[in-house]
Structure 1
Amino acid sequence: MSEYASDRPRFFVIAVDGPAASGKGTIATGLAKAYKLPVLDTGLLYRCVGVLMKKARGNLDDEAAACAAAALLTADQLDDPALRTRAAGELASRVAVHPRVRNALMEFQRTFARQEGGAVLDGRDIGTVIAPDAPAKLYVTASPKVRAHRRWTQLKAQGERVSQKDVLADIRRRDARDGGRDAAPMKPAPDAVLLDTSEMTIEQAADAARRIVEVARARWNTTS
């Protein structure tokens, strides 16, 4: 029995996975508010490692250097606005391919998940690696074109000048890298509920996510 299974009566973990710009961050934040749980955007951890390496002019393909940067990461660094940029997303995808980096950040994420009462975590491998026994698992996705438009709109609002064509190319490149890496590839957990938000408004996606979690919570309360 895993640590999550043995501790189930103490905390309810909601794992929200999916590709970039699928809406998982917004959904995770909404679920955290609805269930009064702390939330962690785990992608910020990798973005922070990438940004730290970039500032130090490090080689992003150097696994040892990336691992050293990950070991220095602290929670207060995750509020840096620079982590929300297009460039930071690309940096994150590059350092995330390193198994030692993922291992270095794993305990940070698992400690967050083990908080009394529970937590919401969103990322690429929450339901498969970080919290495989999470009672509620969602895999949030959308078509590449829809995701590219969402990310382009977000970047434009932040003052970044980039074409939708370039953003779509970034999205497809990151999907290939995140899904094809050897270490914790991005994929739905076998027991995750797929939520395709391509044709949904934010409100519709949030409502669908809450209904999925309600079913999972009812099941968890029965078995705990």
Structure 2
Amino acid sequence: MSRFKNEVSRLEAHVKSLRVVLGILFVLAGAMGLGWWSAPRDLTVHVPPDLRSGSTRKWWEIPPETVYTFGFYIFQQLNRWPTNGEEDYARNLQQLRAYLTPKCQTLLQAEFEQRRLGGELRKRTRGVYEIPERGYGDDPGFRVKTLGRDAWIVNLDLTADEYFGSEKVKRALVRYPLHVVRMDVDPERNPFGLALNCYSGKPQRIAPATPTRSIATDLETDVDAEGEQP
């Protein structure tokens, strides 16, 4: 009889130890979940120059590749209308205010009202993307032109697609000469410290790339003010 009692006691002790282990695992899982939830969603990473090779950089100098990345990213987000241009474009103008100069904000708002009244936004979807082999790495000197310490021209060669429902109503290959300026006034909302000042010139149609054609001299005709400007 005592053998059975000992076996029962052993099993009860084993069950109790399993409950303790389960409780510890539950506490650990809760702690890891809390740490995951409280982890920062965005991290600012500073990449200093490699001083072993004698490289130095002025603190106020912004690399041209950063300027190009900023111009392309903000312009692409501004022209992304996933469901309805009448609502999406207005929302983009509001959400990206910190990345636009006051002058550009006013011009784009007026352009939005003009297109809305003309029926060019309702139920329209739109997206722009780089034309293959026409990105920054293909001709850095042409893609970003430095006007001074605080101003640049960014030449974007993009494909602009627009749809009305499921029907494609526009596809255009366009060169957008963006005017980018330094505007480090609100790091909380604009960590780039840059802003779009709209265009330095009129957007223009471009021809498809060919092996013998220079990307700097392949402009065809000025872009229709009504048809291809964002």
**TM norm structure 2:** 0.23
Greater Rg by CA: 2
Name whichever structure is richer in strand by fraction. Answer: 2
Name whichever structure is richer in helix by fraction. Answer: 1
More relative contact order in 1 or in 2 (CA 8 Å, sep 6+)? 1
